[in-house]
Amino acid sequence: MINGYVLGESLRPGAEFAPPGLRVRAVRRLDVSESARAGQPPLWTLVEWEADDGLSVPIADALAAALESAHGWYADFIVGDERVVVFAGKVFRYRRGDPRGRAEAIEYGRSVGTPEHQLDWKE
């Protein structure tokens, strides 16, 4: 089972994130005004979802197509022993605990403007 989330504010205007087999678990609003960086909204909409393990590729592709490229927005999830980190137009997959794979995803995040404190996904 894949469990993940996407921030509503991270989606491009007009984009749709609706890969087949995705099930929404919860929708929450978060006040992040104390930690939001320039260009990021002070309120975030957290959409928690789940899907079967075999859907990781279409989900990653759908995220890559829907995420806004400004401000380094990304989404990530775990499938089995693999971490999937998705930016607009770019998908990173690496074995959990692989420092090289993690470093590549983090470096890419820095290059597209992801705030440093948000490059902290758990392994």
The model's pLDDT over 79-113, given as tens digits with 9 standing for 90+, comes to 999 999 999 999 999 999 999 999 999 999 999 99
**Domain assignments of the chain as residue spans, ordered by start:** 2-116
Cβ-in-10-Å burial (0-12, 13-18, 19+) of 37 comes to: middle
What is the distance between the alpha carbons of residues 53 and 85, in angstroms, rounded to a whole number? 15
Would you state the pLDDT for residue 78?
94
113 - beta bridge partners? none
